[in-house]
Amino acid sequence: MPNIGLGTFRLKGQALRQAVKEAMRIGYRHIDTAAIYQNEKDIGLALQNLYNEPSSRVSRSDLWITSKLSPYDMKNPRAALLKTVASLQTDYLDLYLIHWPGVARKPASHSDNKRLRIEAWNVLNEAKREGLVRHIGISNFTPQHLQELIDETKYGIQGAFVQMEIHPWYWRDASEIQSRFAEQNLTMVGYALLAEGKLLGDDCPHVLDEIGQRLGITRVQVVLAWALTRKWAVLARSVDENHLRQNLAACTSVGVLTSQDCAASDAISSPGEENKLCWDPRKVI
């Protein structure tokens, strides 16, 4: 999987199709979407247009396409997967994730949450064996949710992908999963690296600008490189060509950040006082 992917949350229509076109043109090869984003058909159309362009050298086999099972479809994961594959106009997905550990419109404490996520995990493993998906994983799961998949399914989580919120204000849960399940050979993927805009605000910690100025990169590139240095793949969303290029170029800064730079980025938050900005799965039983 390419270490930097194009995130598409909240992107739709022409803006999304143009972003996909530009991203592929400048070198992106990983696209991340989800059924709940309601943009899979737009992405499928954009990719078909790309494949059919006479000047394009991009084919389906060059790409890594990720999508996710909606919390609204937990009772019918196979049907949802087939719908996603059809919408994206592809024969298979490179990665399919359970998007959320709970079921839509059910209380966080409802017993259906655990039952259906375990059933869905079994279905995803079966789809992998069929070749409908090449890799599977989960998104927004806690360490306890992961442990359940080990303890209560025959498949376990060996080689799974784990996508979750990661940024300097909230990263210790990802680090815990990475270390606790080290023997499972998990691949960690971070989203919300801009911390819902905090990274772009005037009150962003000056240390990121100081590191960036010394290295000749932006504060966004500093954070992306920080995550990549920790062996976390990242998703970055933008419709601006310059930002797309800058995000992709963050790969070149891996190995340039010093251990002191990483420690300074780590210290933006402190244990017990991290600021989780997206939905919190820790409430889902």
Which helix (H) or strand (E) segment holds residue 7: the answer is strand 4-7
C-alpha 250/C-alpha 235 separation (Å) is: 12
Contact present, 244 and 24 (Cβ < 8 Å): no
∠ Cα 251 139 182 (to 5°) = 70
Active site residue 92: no
Is 168:226 a contact under the CB 8 Å cutoff?
yes
Q: How far is CA 283 from CA 98, 104, 225, 278, in A?
A: 17, 14, 31, 13
CB 92 within 8 A of CB 60: no
One-letter amino acid for residue 25 of the chain = R
What distance in Å separates the CA atoms of residue 94 and residue 2, rounded to the nearest whole number?
11
Among the options 37, 96, 170, 191, which is catalytic?
A: 37
CB 94 within 8 A of CB 64: yes
Active site residues: 37
